[in-house]
Amino acid sequence: MLCEIARNLADEKLEEIQTLEGDLGVTLVAFSCRSLEPAREERLRKTMEDYGLSSTTVPAPADEAQLQKIREAEAALGLALVAVRT
């Protein structure tokens, strides 16, 4: 799966994410994801490993209620949302 930071979000989606951030007290990063064929996925993983690309963002701790709200928003928006510490 290839994910990139979501761009050009409709105003309604952006407002929904910002409202959820305020409700949960966390910063959310929105990603747009798509599946790749398995061979291409493996090449991407290998390339990232070769270049030493890794995530340096620390996920924010979230309780089950917060996670449920994030999951619901993901389903409604068609995006992957990650709560991060800033």
| 1-56 pLDDT, tens digit each | 677 889 889 999 999 999 999 999 989 999 988 777 888 878 877 887 888 766 56
Question: Which residues constitute the domain of residue 14?
Answer: 2-84
What is the pLDDT, as a whole number, of residue 37? 83
Q: Is the pLDDT of residue 76 over 80?
A: yes
Q: How many domains in the chain?
A: 1
Measured CA to CA, the distance from residue 82 to residue 74 in angstroms comes to 10
Average pLDDT over residues 52-63: 69
Q: Which residue has the higher pLDDT, 74 or 48?
A: 74
